[in-house]
Amino acid sequence: MPQVDNRKIAKMFNEIADLLDIDGDNPFKVRAYRNAARTILGYPRQMADLVEEGFDLTSLRGIGKELAKKITEIVQTGKLAYLEKLKKTHPSQLEELLKIPGLGPKRVRLLHELLHINSLADLEKALKAGKLEKVPGFGKKLIAKIENGIQTRRYEAHRFKLSEALPVAEWIVKILKKTKGAVHVAIAGSLRRKKETVHDIDLVAACEETSDTMVYFLNLPKIQKIVMKGTTRSTILLENGMSVDLRVVGIENFGATLHHFTGSKAHNITLRKMAVEKGMKINEYGIWQGNKRIGGEREQDIYDAFGMQYIEPEMRENRGEIALAQKHSLPNLIVQTDIKGDLHMHTTYSDGLASIEEMAQQAKRLGYEYIAITDHTEHLKVAHGMDEKRIKTQLEEIDTLNEKLDGITILKSAEVDILEDGSLDMPQSMLKALDLAVCSVHTKFNLSREKQTKRILKAMENPHFSILAHPTGRLIGLREPYAIDMEAVMQNAKERGCILELNAQPDRLDLNDIHCKMAKEMGVRIAVSTDAHSLKDLELMRYGIWQARRGWLEKEDVVNTLSLSALQTLLGAIKS
């Protein structure tokens, strides 16, 4: 947090790419910035540390001399003159329009030139006035999609992805735990429940009376302003736009306060109603039976008061968890140590940043038994998809590496495009040579619900279809899920024995928690995979596990908790 991190540098490069794209600049130049952003985001070390060490940044994939200079400038100043110059020549909110589904750079440029639309507000006015209907290529379906996208964007404008908020919260907690008198410091709110997006960061600290925890909180680096200042509660706004709220309580109140501010609201209300029926009272200060305080130092005290199982934070959404806790029948939620391998990752054969051997060695360090290499197939040219010749070369390399490496097995796979007609972007002879096929939709997101569902169902008829990757195609805050009958897809997966992926990339988290729970209830197996494009990306598994826990998944629901031999038996059964 105190230094310029890789995420900020990548974000700035992507901003440059967006602005150049809107201008219709050289597509190779645009792609260079996007590729550089991906390299930076996926690199296992911070650019700031590399610059300080005098490391040659041009040795990194896709980073030339000019881009290396720009990285150094950002690290040393926190700014980039070239980006500031670009912004001055563009309306300040024009780039925001790219985040509306259906509006790519060409359409944004068209709206800007024909209707002088420079912001979301301008776009909304034009929609209300019916002006978009007169723009070439803007039909009723596209306009409806834009209208829905604006509503979604308004909601998400002040929300942060889990992967953005959590590192900041963890950084603050680490600092506050070292302060005088701090006994407990914990993350609360929707961030503790691991929701995929959060509005702000809630923290709870249990402190002794002489604590200086609040003083340190109000003097954290990177504070834009102090919104509210008090001895037991303060709120700050960070430079990155995140609001952080800290509540300081006595040690005897910590459990009740943490539970109250973890939520969800619906979960807490149900428990309060139950308490009233038993002549009890629950609030952020503790638990009372009549006038007698009976607990509150631990969260467990609240559930003990009802004779219930402890309910994990990820489950506290009032979706039936309280009734199960009363029966002591809660699922035994999956944990990260249950994972035995990762079944979706990319290497330098397509759009990854590391070699097969490097990915395998890193997976071994993480304690995995196996990985599946799933580089893109030929149809996805933007990701350097492999043709048949390169696929054969890769399979031969995997054979060689499996003979060479100890303690890790590399499974032969590919991320095979599902084409518009439902066929797979790989010959049957090549599919047959794979241990598993991870299949996905990367194009034609705008098909009707009926056509998109039919497309995927047809693809699943292929006997070599193993896993449906990122099943709804969404990118959180950037792209809505495509229309699909998820129940029909899951029913077909169950009948065929196919697996659905929970993609752990923080921008995807696809399947969502509702669909994970639905899959569990229907008996459909899940693969929690990182879709890693770098060594560092392999560590994203924790985001997938949290999403799985929100969907009530247990070890038995997830295929990559199986041993290698058990997984191979399962994959073989899918093909038969």
Q: What is the pLDDT of residues 443-498, one digit of tens each?
A: 888 899 999 999 999 999 999 999 999 999 998 877 789 999 999 999 999 999 99
Q: pLDDT at position 129, please?
A: 86
Per the domain annotation, does 82 fall within a domain? Answer: yes
- The CATH number that applies at residue 365 is 3.20.20.140
One domain, residues 467 and 571: yes
Are residues 80 and 17 located together in one domain of the fold?
A: yes
Measure the CA–CA gap between 488 and 118, rounded to whole angstroms: 41
Who wins on pLDDT, 471 or 138? Answer: 471
Report phi then psi at 234, rounded to 5: -140, 155
- What pLDDT sits at residue 351? 83
Q: Are residues 37 and 164 in the same domain?
A: no
395 in Cβ contact with 426 (< 8 Å): no
Q: How far apart are CA 82 and CA 156, in angstroms?
A: 28
Looking at the fold, whether 177 and 88 belong to one and the same domain comes out as no
Domain containing residue 322: CATH number = 3.30.210.10
Same domain, 535 and 427: yes
**More confident site: 568 or 129:** 568
Task: Read off the pLDDT of residues 158-177 as tens digits, 9 standing for 90 and up.
Answer: 688 999 899 999 999 999 99
Res 39 pLDDT > 60: yes
- Nearest of 42, 47, 121 to residue 80 by alpha carbon: 47
* Structural domain harbouring 409: 336-575
pLDDT the model gives residue 479: 79
Is pLDDT at 513 greater than 70 in this prediction?
Answer: yes
CA atoms of 223 and 353, how far apart (whole Å): 35
- The answer to whether residues 550 and 487 belong to one domain is yes
Residues 229, 261, single domain; the answer is: no
Report, as an integer, the average pLDDT of 553-570. Answer: 97
Domain contains 292? yes
Structure confidence at residue 92 (pLDDT):
65
Share of the chain above pLDDT 90, in %: 68
* Position 568 in a domain: yes
Phi-psi region of 220 (alpha: psi -120 to 50; beta: other; left: phi over 0): beta
User: Rounded CA gap, 460 and 437, in Å?
Assistant: 11
- DSSP H/E element including 17: helix 6-22
Query: Does the pLDDT at position 155 exceed 60?
Result: no
Per-residue confidence (pLDDT) for residue 156, from 0 to 100: 57
> Which domain-ending residue is among 326, 348, 369?
326
Does 356 share its domain with 444?
yes
pLDDT, residue 496, reads 94
The answer to whether position 363 is within a domain reads yes
Can you give the three-state secondary structure of 316-373, one letter per residue? Answer: CCCCCHHHHHHCCCCCCECCHHHCCEECCECCCCCCCCCCHHHHHHHHHHCCCCEEEE
Confidence at residue 107, expressed as pLDDT on a 0 to 100 scale: 85
Tell me, what CATH number does 140's domain have? 1.10.150.110
| pLDDT for the residue 6 | 83
Looking at 293, 326, 359, the residue that finishes a domain is: 326
137 and 196 together in one domain: no
Instruction: Count structural domains, the chain.
Output: 4
Q: What is the mean pLDDT of the chain?
A: 91
Within this chain, do residues 151 and 188 fall inside the same structural domain, yes or no?
no
- 1 pLDDT above the threshold of 60: no
Least confident stretch, 84-88, 140-144, 152-156, 508-512 = 152-156
Choose one of 137, 156, 175: the last residue of a domain.
Answer: 156
Reading across the β-sheet that carries 370-373, which strands appear in turn? Answer: 341-342, 370-373, 409-412
Q: Residue 324 — pLDDT band, cuts 50, 70, 90? A: very high
Helix, strand, coil percentages in the chain from 3-state DSSP, rounded to 5:
50, 15, 35
In a domain, 194, yes or no: yes
pLDDT of residue 157: 57
Query: Is 1 a member of any domain?
Result: no
Is 134 in the same domain as 229?
Answer: no
264-314 pLDDT per residue, tens: 999 999 999 999 999 999 999 999 998 899 999 999 999 999 999 999 999
pLDDT given at position 185:
97
Residues 175-207 have pLDDT tens digits of: 999 999 999 999 999 999 999 999 999 999 999
Instruction: Please check whether residue 532 lies inside any domain of the structure.
Output: yes
In a domain, 331, yes or no: no
Residues 310 and 408 in one domain: no
Task: Write the CATH number for 211.
Answer: 3.30.460.10
Query: Per-residue pLDDT tens for 392-430?
Result: 999 999 999 999 999 999 999 999 999 999 999 999 999
The pLDDT, as a whole number, for residue 153 is 67
Cα–Cα–Cα angle for 94, 99, 100, rounded to 5 degrees: 95
